[in-house]
Structure 1
Amino acid sequence: MAVLRILGIDPGSRYMGYGVIERNGSRLRYIHADRLVLGNMPFTERLLKIDAFLGELLALYEPDCAAFEGIFHQKFADAAIKLGHARGVAICACARFGIPLYEYAPTDVKQSVTSFGRAEKAQVADMVRILLGVQNTWPVDASDALAIAICHANRI
């Protein structure tokens, strides 16, 4: 079986988590993870930064596919709209590179990584470290992105 490189993306309007893993048969290998800090710059500039950053990330790591967490219910409409815009920019960046996209519900990601669909973020991060065999600690956005990538690796 060929090695598959997967990019997990946890988009947001203030921070975007990303994580790259490889799957070779049933083995997972950690490549890189972090988060892009978008801060308080004007919203349109944040969207441009997401697009430019993902272009660089996709060129550098050359993933075979990308996985996103599906949209979940937001309490505030404005936050949901901004998240949708950030997510759309990330999806377009991947599409521009011809990278197949996959989407998973948040409960499916948690279930895949922890065997419990309502796991807390700390539980998810702990299991990500165990599954990837590393001791790294990442910002929560990055460990979420790795969990999304692991979920995809487990589904294909």
Structure 2
Amino acid sequence: MRVLGVDPGIARLGYGVVEVAGSKIRCVTYGCVETDAHTQLELRLQAIYHQLTELLENHHPDVMAVEELFFNRNTTTAFTVGQARGVVLLAAAEHATPLAEYTPMQVKQAVTGYGRADKKQIQQMVKILLGLTEIPKPDDAADALAIAITHGHSAPLEKLMPVSTPNQTGWNWERGVR
């Protein structure tokens, strides 16, 4: 199974592609889609969409795993990140790529075994789990890999936590709900 993990953002959207075979997880690629703060919002969203489309077409993931948004401070940031996340969901739907969503606590639990792990602990575990020589940079890419790893660990439980799949009439609810 090939998983595209996405850490939504407007200035920097992290992505990471992993392959899962049984209990083995291998890193295929990772990086960030970056947009300039001085560019109009609609053009930034368009750039994110086009680069995500390219990733989907080049890597053919079986599923896209996306982090759910959690903000407790800056609502302006939450709205713009939410718009970027909407573009991510649209790209998945346009490419008929099944979608899985995970909370930050679920990602921390899956990667470190501790739901309140800090960023450094998560990054170190991503490095170890993927057998990388160094911690992936920037942080957004490491976060995206952690999200992909989360789905890789959760995939055997898919019958308990089904993935939603878009179809021509909307979401295919027969496979379950998000």
Query: TM class, shorter-chain normalised?
Result: over 0.9
**Is 1:9 paired with 2:15?**
no
Which sits farther off after the overlay, 11-20 or 134-143? 134-143
> Aligned equivalents of 1:80 and 1:73: distance in 2?
6
- Across the aligned residues of Structure 1 and Structure 2, the Cα RMSD in angstroms comes to 0.9
Letter in 2 for 1:102: A
| CA–CA separation in structure 2 for the residues paired with 1:121 and 1:38 | 23
Indicate the residue corresponding to 2:153 in structure 1: 154
Contact 1:15/1:39 (8 A) holds in 2: no
Structure 1, unaligned runs of 5 or more: none
Normalising to structure 2: TM-score of the pair? Answer: 0.84
Equivalent residue for 2:62?
Answer: 64
The answer on 1:103 being equivalent to 2:116 is: no
Please give the per-residue CA displacement for 1:65-123, whole angstroms capped at 9, x wherever unaligned.
00011121241221111111000001101110000000011011011101111111111
Which of 40, 48, 70 is residue 50 of structure 1 equivalent to?
48
Q: Distance in 2 between matches of 1:37 and 1:83?
A: 13
**Runs of 4+ off more than 2 Å:** none
Quote the Cα distance in structure 2 between the aligned partners of 1:122 and 1:45. 33
Which structure has more relative contact order (CA 8 Å, sep 6+)? It is: 1
Q: Which residue number in structure 2 is paired with residue 30 of structure 1?
A: 27
State the number of aligned residues: 153
Contact 1:5–1:21 under 8 Å retained in 2: yes
Kindly provide the amino acid, as one letter, of the partner of residue 152 in structure 2: A
Larger Rg, first or second structure (1 or 2): 2
Quick one: percent identity of the two aligned structures?
A: 43
